Homo-oligomer: A and B are copies of this chain.
């Protein structure tokens, strides 16, 4: 199976000394899965919308099952000149466009954004997380919500604050991976059978 992961720095695993991020950790030991990690740091959903499909099509093959996972929202929630980089309505529009186009190519799953240290960005990311959850429910795309569990644990935020204010370390990424990996939707998503 080939798993293609699109999103921002948390998908890349920025700050993870083990260079796995939550995606690599969520498929630990599953050597039958090849991971294409297509996260890009600081990228907003407008930019992801412009590039994901070309990159996905280059990695799709007809002889092996494929899966596409998306996870974004934090970068959209940053302010530039007093306004979010991408307004909520536009993020949702971008998400809808990507999710509906992607599921014509392969089974698709979305993982919600994690919390961040900056209180304002974090509050906007939390609201966006709820809106993305609702959108995915309407589209019948499986959605894994990690926001509150990571927020409640405190580890994610503590590691991020101790590093660069945004990205956790090995333990934080592992916690997110555990939340994703234990979710029934993820287990179904990464099953070998088409």
Task: Write the A10-24 contact mask toward B (1 if CB under 8 angstroms, else 0).
Answer: 001111111110001
In the complex, what's the smallest C-beta–C-beta distance from A161 to chain B, in angstroms? 15
Q: Known contacts being A2-B41, A42-B61, A55-B55, is A28 close to B17, with CB within 8 Å?
A: yes
Per DSSP, are chain A's interface residues mostly helix, strand or loop, or mixed? loop
Instruction: Flag whether A183 is at the interface (Cβ < 8 A).
Output: no
Bound state CA distance, A12 and B19, in angstroms? 13
Query: Which residues of chain A have a CB within 8 Å of any CB of chain B?
Result: 2, 9, 12-20, 24, 27-31, 33-37, 40-42, 47, 51, 54-55, 58-59, 61, 163, 169
Apart from A17-B30, A19-B35, 14 more pairs, CB < 8 Å:
A2-B41, A13-B35, A14-B34, A15-B31, A16-B31, A18-B29, A19-B24, A19-B27, A24-B24, A31-B169, A34-B41, A36-B37, A36-B40, A54-B54
